Chains A and B, each alone.
Chain A
């Protein structure tokens, strides 16, 4: 007889995402396995398998003796319904065995709006949501990723967080667990010991108390845990683990290509950007190592496309050397080389011309703000001149497709800044009219605006988010100033970004809201098919929490912030200084022009920052 899961598969969309069995999947011998880790990505297979961090850690954990790491993804709605109807517990792909049978359950969290998925995946696994309801060493839940830099909304559910890059800390944690399991420790003893590993944050060792106005009054450290936890980094990327043998999905995923990370950190310091600050210091890989890894990865995987990824690839010092080597290899082997986030300088222009993939996708700019003044406020070093020069070259080269991304609601923004977006777009259209060599196909300009979300560990971490009504007013104002048929203007509704803002700077009291929303069906909130603001709105009401407290209120500079316990390497003094400069519309030059003293260099022992 065909077993239950096999009977369900024909009834769901894209069944291959639930079966495992891809090329390079790692299946360890259960007899030799002492620690089993279920590595959960709180979104679909297609998104999770595109995540480079997950691939690195999968390789690292499975490289450990006696450790088996298997993948788990959030099921799509049809599959969720089928497994609920049939009382099946959520399973891991490699062995197809239930998640609840695993020793450790790890989550990687890169997006606030997947918090409901985390709880939902625990629920579908039949694992108690709250840390205090899980006794013993079985099913220890831990999490890492960018959202761990303010993990408070998840504090009730996750036993501990790992901060920063996972290459080393993951090995230390699992080695400790291996010992704890062999010696039959209690969960309390394990948490106490794991809290001693640098970069580990055990939220239950920190008591949060509040003032009558809802702000934090004190964070009290217990059990001898560190008062500040500093994130971990890898100093020497050349010698860091790199997974050459990566899983090649048998079904199409979002980034369906090989992905090579060329450096970590960002030299630019755009003041709204959490990744830009929290991924510092700046560390590069050498072109020789990258070239070797690129060839190995391509030959092993059979991919016909490779991306050179990073936060800002055109700032990679070895880009010319690397692409000079890669382009001939790629041409000879029919591989597309894709270099995202190129800037408008001469070298990038030449490179763009050589790379076919850029041609296909058209030009993309993220000026983020419409006027130079506001771009100075946010420290976005992209001038109108650069944009128009690049457009001119592209249009005279026959391109006719431009995408422009902006934010609305940035600090100090006025209607003049909003209308500055429309002006900039008109100048782009004008440039096309003057320089296009091929006018027959017409010009297409896509403009998208996002609702600004203030993020922790950035100079804007204290800022107010504008109200949803005000955001919509600005969208409509802008829309009413787009007259040309060439323009497509997209703006998302404010609900998702409002919630993102709540959770990004949220505190522990939000745990109840997430649990309540999940209970009422919140899941896959990043997907239009499932996002339901009503569920969240009701959950806030039921828990007596006002979302505005976390968004439009803004945080005081003297206030204790929920994420004050966490050090990503950036000094608070530096953030305050940058905030002040923002209000003075003063830019801060990038790291190459001079170190701005953010503090992240102190995380490095062996090499200087951005060497």
Chain B
């Protein structure tokens, strides 16, 4: 099995998870790299992307697992050929063998930019910092069984809030991303719920890095 570490930025953030899988399948074909296929009545190329990313979120640490048929091609060459066949915003950073098991991903670092069209409200930085230092923080979570409430505090390893400029607060957080999973959106949802006067006008989100349970970088 091979693994590609890739990033998804720019306009490509609007490509959904399913569409991205199809995009990769085509990119492999364009690059002249034949993917192995699943067995069965309706064979499908075997590619999978770990931890589906929400539409609109950037990432510098996406993982794509795949297998190739035919003659072996070096990881370096796969990287180059794929990058020549992909769209702007989807870029392979490296391809490697023997990646760790996906189930060993435990945490991720994300950055959220909270944009305020008027100035950042007075005291927002401290207020938000103190919000996330509460003992518990119940936030709604959408799931298959409807909307449930979830305490997000145990899923936050660390979080900092800093003003980038007069209009933008930056939230850097290390959060659980697998069993249990905290969707970064819940961080801004917590602000909107408990401090509605600090609700930003727009929020962008970016995945920075993923980690093992021991908090070493996951690859």
Contact = CB atoms under 8 A, between A and B. Distances in A.
A124 to B, nearest CB: 20
A16 B26 contact: no
Given A1-B167, A334-B37, A20 B11 contact: yes
A301 B27 CA distance: 8
B19 A19 contact: no
B66 interface: no
Interface stretch (B81-89, B122-130, B191-199, B211-219): B81-89
Interface in B1-56: 10-12, 14-16, 18-19, 22-23, 25-30, 32, 34, 37, 43, 55-56
B28 A302 contact: yes
Given A9-B56, A15-B56, A301-B30, A2 B115 contact: yes
Interface in A194-253: 248, 250-252
Could you tell me the dominant secondary structure of chain B's interface residues? mixed
Residue of B26, B89, B117 with most chain A CB atoms under a 10 A cut-off: B26
Contacts of B23: 250
Contacts of A19: 11, 14
Nearest to B35: A334
A252 B22 contact: yes
B85 A21 contact: no
A477 B217 CA distance: 70
A9 to B, nearest CB: 6
Contacts of A334: 34, 37, 43
Contact of B25 (A1, A22, A250, A304): A304
A15 B29 contact: no
B160 interface: no
Interface residues of A, number: 27
Contact of B15 (A7, A250, A299, A300): A250
Given A21-B10, A301-B30, A334-B34, 19 more contacts: A1-B117, A1-B168, A14-B16, A15-B55, A19-B14, A21-B11, A21-B88, A23-B85, A250-B19, A250-B23, A251-B16, A251-B19, A252-B18, A302-B29, A303-B26, A303-B29, A333-B29, A334-B37, A334-B43
Contacts, number: 72
A245 to B, nearest CB: 11
Interface residues of B, number: 33
A10 interface: yes
Contacts of A299: 29-30, 32
Nearest to A2: B202
B204 interface: yes
A302 B16 contact: no
B23 to A, nearest CB: 6
B55 A10 contact: yes
A16 B202 contact: no
B204 A2 contact: yes
Given A252-B22, A302-B85, A21 B12 contact: yes
Contact of B14 (A15, A298, A333): A15
Interface in B85-122: 85-89, 115, 117
B19 A21 contact: no
A230 to B, nearest CB: 41
Contacts of A301: 26, 30
A304 B34 CA distance: 12
Contact of A302 (B10, B26, B168): B26
B111 to A, nearest CB: 14
Nearest to A11: B56
Contacts of B167: 1
A16 B115 contact: no
Given A9-B14, A16-B14, A22 B87 contact: yes
Q: Considering the complex of A and B, which 9 residue pairs feature the smallest CB-CB distances, nearest first? A: A302-B26, A302-B29, A302-B30, A21-B11, A15-B14, A19-B11, A16-B14, A10-B56, A251-B19
Contacts of B85: 23, 302
Residue of B27, B30, B32 with most chain A CB atoms under a 10 A cut-off: B30
A190 to B, nearest CB: 36
A16 B12 CA distance: 8
A20 B87 CA distance: 10
A259 B112 CA distance: 43
8 contacts: A1-B167, A9-B14, A10-B55, A23-B87, A250-B12, A251-B15, A251-B19, A334-B43
Nearest to B32: A299
A16 B87 contact: no
A250 B16 CA distance: 9
Interface string A22-59: 11000000000000000000000000000000000000
B151 to A, nearest CB: 26
A133 to B, nearest CB: 35
B52 to A, nearest CB: 15
Nearest to A14: B16
Contacts of A303: 26, 29
A302 B35 CA distance: 12
A202 B167 CA distance: 54
A252 B19 contact: yes
